[in-house]
A = this chain, B = another copy of it.
Amino acid sequence: MAPERYKEYEHILVAVDCIIFGFHKNELKLLLIKRDFEPEKGKWSLMGGFLDDDESLDEAAQRILKTLTGLHDIYLDQLHSFGDVDRDPVERTISVAYYALIDVETHDKELLKQHSASWFPIHSVPELIFDHEEMVLSALKRLRRKASHQPVGFELLPEKFTLPELQKLYESIYDTNLDKRNFRRRILSMDVLEKTEEKQKTNSRKGAFLYRFDPKKYSRKVNNGDSLIFKTLKP
């Protein structure tokens, strides 16, 4: 009988962990919370929890992120499932990791204070529990791949941004410096940005024009098979 056959097998804890990247003050950042139970209590952790019986993996990721941080309706992409036998010292647990790119300023007011979710610049991430560092590295790799064929700025930047801000974003993602003139020329030649009449004057008296992505133009490019244009931004 099938149900008997099913009973023979191990039933295992399934965790879901969320890797949230943000971009703020010209830096790529990672959202972490302090774990408030043993083992590894007090250490920094991704936002994680266990899958309930009555929710899909995607629903669990949304619930866990919302409960622990207050962030809601975030578009989460499944990254990878981590299944080493000893990855959690307490008990065999597999973890399905999800990741998201968010614009810090838009979402910062949602963050709950009681769980002390905090943003860390990607270059000064503290020691993390379990295999969470491996998860973050895997998500960073995915972000780099994504940036090579999609305009990730859509998700990480506010609606309007300057070209220097966009350049900083790509520099953060690829962890390198890009030549200003080349970057400008390449991004403008893609013809996916719309220049507004507004200027941002925070960083210079002359100010820098604000741009926004034009999703229609971009979709047309992608449908024409032109998505490889984003490769040209790769250093």
Contacts and interface: CB of A to CB of B under 8 A. Distances in A.
Interface of A: 1-3, 5-6, 9-14, 37-39, 50-58, 60, 78, 80-85, 90-94, 96, 225, 228, 231, 234
B12 A85 contact: no
A85 B2 contact: no
Nearest to A93: B6
A6 B90 CA distance: 8
Contact of A2 (B1, B6, B37, B92): B37
10 A-B pairs with the lowest CB-CB distances in the bound complex, closest first: A57-B83, A11-B11, A9-B50, A2-B38, A10-B53, A81-B81, A56-B84, A56-B83, A81-B96, A228-B231
A185 B7 CA distance: 57
Contacts of A6: 13, 50, 90-91, 93
B12 A83 contact: no
Contacts of A11: 11-13
A86 to B, nearest CB: 9
Contacts of A93: 6
Given A13-B9, A14-B94, A51 B83 contact: yes
Nearest to A87: B56
Contacts of A50: 6, 9-10
Contact of A81 (B9, B10, B37, B78): B78
A81 B97 CA distance: 10
* Complex copy number for this chain: 2
Nearest to A84: B56
A83 B54 contact: no
6 contacts: A2-B37, A10-B53, A11-B12, A57-B82, A57-B94, A228-B228
Given A10-B50, A11-B12, 6 more contacts: A2-B39, A9-B51, A10-B14, A12-B13, A54-B85, A225-B231
A38 B92 CA distance: 28
**Most B CB atoms within 10 A — which of A14, A39, A56, A228?**
A14
Given A2-B38, A5-B37, A90-B2, A53 B96 contact: no
Contacts of A85: 53-56
B53 A92 contact: yes
